[in-house]
Amino acid sequence: MTSVLIVDDEVEIVELIDFYMGNNGYKTYKAFNGNEALEIFEKEAIDIIVLDIMMPGCSGKDVLRKIRQKSGVPILFLSAKGEDMDKIDGLFLGADDYMSKPFNPMELIARVNALLRRSCFFNNNNNKQNASITIIDNLKLDEELCRAYKNDIELELTAFEYKLLVFLIKNKNKVFTKGQLYEQVWDEAYLGDERIIMVYISKLRDKIEDNSKEPKYIKTIRGLGYMFERN
């Protein structure tokens, strides 16, 4: 049974998410502060985390930072309206998606399902039949293991960073708009929020480029979008 860790200091929100997750076949774990969440994560096999940003003491960003040091488990951030910078910070730290409060519980379920569906940790076994290794200069993709390397050193990528990188490399020298990238990688309709793609492009450049300010691979095509350039 797929397990979800629900983390929020508001009891009503935790219980609401717990109710809907349970009714949709998930095994749930509940935490009401960051330290409790980290303790549960260490003890249990967690498949996905729904994590509030603003919590007293150990905040959601603190929890995310610590988990990302050891795991690429999908994480969906919850934030109150007006916390745009917190959302962006969360994406830079390694969150995979975010929703604003108040939220529709059924949309939350849909997003959790989508994250799990597209996560390498969820479908790794299904990829093995199409396994291959791609090498471009000092970059290497191992699609069987869902891993990427630079100079033979494994890159610490989240599931969506990896999927975005694979898509760009597989479609090298082709220009894609932000909307096209979102729909291809996130597999859902693009609603005009450019920040997610901009953040992920920036994160990928920091990890694969020698100089992210003058990228050799992921080029910005002004007025159009992005392209993975390879001669």
- Report yes or no: 118 and 112 within 8 Å, Cβ to Cβ: no
> Measuring CA to CA, how many Å separate 36 from each of 14, 43, 50, 73, 97?
13, 11, 14, 17, 22
Q: Point out the least confidently predicted range of 130-139, 150-159, 161-170, 186-195.
A: 186-195
Is the pLDDT at 127 greater than 70? The verdict is no
Query: What ranges in the chain are assigned the alpha helix state H?
Result: 11-23, 34-43, 60-68, 84-93, 105-118, 120-127, 159-170, 178-185, 195-208
pLDDT computed for residue 216 by the predictor: 94
> What dihedral do alpha carbons 228, 123, 156, 57 form, nearest 10°?
120
pLDDT: which is higher, 26 or 122: 26
Q: The domain at 125-228 falls in which architecture? A: Orthogonal Bundle (1.10)
pTM: 0.69
- Report yes or no: 49 and 7 within 8 Å, Cβ to Cβ: yes
Average pLDDT over all residues of the chain? 87
Residue with tokens 């291809």: 184
Is the pLDDT at 10 greater than 80? The verdict is yes
pLDDT computed for residue 139 by the predictor: 93
Neighbours of 23 (CB within 10 A): 10
pLDDT computed for residue 125 by the predictor: 47
Alpha carbon distance 197, 91 (integer Å): 10
Q: Which of 24-33, 92-101, 150-159 has the highest mean pLDDT?
A: 24-33
Q: The domain at 3-118 falls in which architecture? A: 3-Layer(aba) Sandwich (3.40)
pLDDT computed for residue 27 by the predictor: 95
Q: What are the domain boundaries of the chain?
A: 3-118, 125-228
**Do the domains spanning 3-118 and 125-228 agree at the CATH topology level?**
no
pLDDT in tens, 20-54: 999 999 999 999 999 999 999 999 999 999 999 88
**Is 138 strand, coil or helix?**
coil
Phi/psi of residue 51, each to 5°? -130, 125
- Report yes or no: 200 and 144 within 8 Å, Cβ to Cβ: no
